[in-house]
């Protein structure tokens, strides 16, 4: 588990098991709540202790905890031996070159052949291994970029899952393989 918090004391990042990370977050939150807030004196530009009355509101503490595992897991029975052949043939036919296009092709194949509506990094990791492709170093970022920058994915049915959008389906059906410009 990873967590990043920003307080008036600064920015803190923690990584480890959930108990350790939560304990560290609680320690920083406690320190931040006890620390005097610094404000700027109107004329001097010098910080003064906030125990004096100030018209400025104290800064709020932001807490962001990431619960999605960054280490993908292999899903043993995602596809059978016969399906591996059809997956590889479909993948070779579409010739995706970018990881984002590969994600679209693999998600599309799962949707059509296995009726899987939402996919995760574990699904992608497994399919990359099955077809013998080198996975991206950051699988989750491919989903995030595919959703925010291209519109190829929407939120899935559960946290950490993504569903191929109609834009992603259109990309696979009509734009792949990419035609060479003359």
DSSP one-letter code for 160: T
Q: Give 80-121 pLDDT, tens digit per residue.
A: 888 999 999 999 999 999 999 999 999 999 999 999 999 999
Q: Give 20-69 pLDDT, tens digit per residue.
A: 777 777 777 777 667 665 444 444 444 444 444 444 544 444 444 444 44
Average pLDDT in the 7-26 region?
Answer: 76
With a cut of 90, say whether residue 17 has pLDDT above it: no
Does the pTM surpass 0.75? The reply is no
DSSP one-letter code for 91: H
pLDDT of residue 27: 79
Question: Is residue 137 within 8 Å of residue 121, measured between CB atoms?
Answer: no
Q: Which CATH number applies to 81-175?
A: 1.10.10
What are residue 96's phi and psi, to 5 degrees?
-70, 140
**Radius of gyration from C-alpha coordinates of the chain:** 24
pLDDT of residue 2: 76
Domain map (residue ranges) of the chain: 2-66, 81-175
Measured CA to CA, the distance from residue 167 to residue 177 in angstroms comes to 16
Which of 25, 172, 24, 178 lies closest to 110, judged by CA? 172
pLDDT of residue 31: 73
In DSSP notation, 107-124 reads HHHHHHHH---EE-HHHH
Q: Give 144-171 pLDDT, tens digit per residue.
A: 999 999 999 999 999 989 999 999 999 9
H helices within 16-157, ranges in order? Answer: 18-34, 81-94, 99-114, 121-131, 139-145
Measured CA to CA, the distance from residue 111 to residue 165 in angstroms comes to 11
Average pLDDT in the 76-83 region?
Answer: 90
């Amino acid at each position: 588990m990873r967590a990043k918090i920003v307080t008036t004391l600064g920015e803190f990042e923690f990584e480890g098991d959930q108990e350790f990370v939560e304990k560290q977050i609680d320690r920083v939150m406690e320190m931040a709540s006890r620390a005097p807030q610094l404000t700027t004196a109107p004329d001097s530009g010098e910080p003064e202790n906030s125990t004096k009355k100030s018209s400025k509101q104290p800064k709020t503490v932001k807490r962001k905890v990431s619960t999605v595992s960054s280490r993908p897991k292999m899903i043993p029975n995602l596809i059978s031996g016969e399906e591996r052949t059809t997956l590889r043939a479909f993948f070779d036919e579409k010739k995706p070159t970018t990881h984002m296009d590969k994600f679209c092709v693999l998600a599309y194949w799962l949707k059509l052949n296995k009726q899987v509506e939402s996919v995760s990094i574990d699904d992608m990791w497994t399919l990359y291994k099955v077809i013998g492709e080198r996975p991206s170093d950051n699988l989750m970022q491919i989903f995030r970029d595919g959703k925010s920058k291209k519109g190829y994915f929407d939120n899935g049915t559960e946290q950490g899952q993504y569903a191929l959008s109609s834009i992603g389906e259109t990309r696979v059906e009509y734009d792949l393989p990419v035609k060479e410009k003359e």
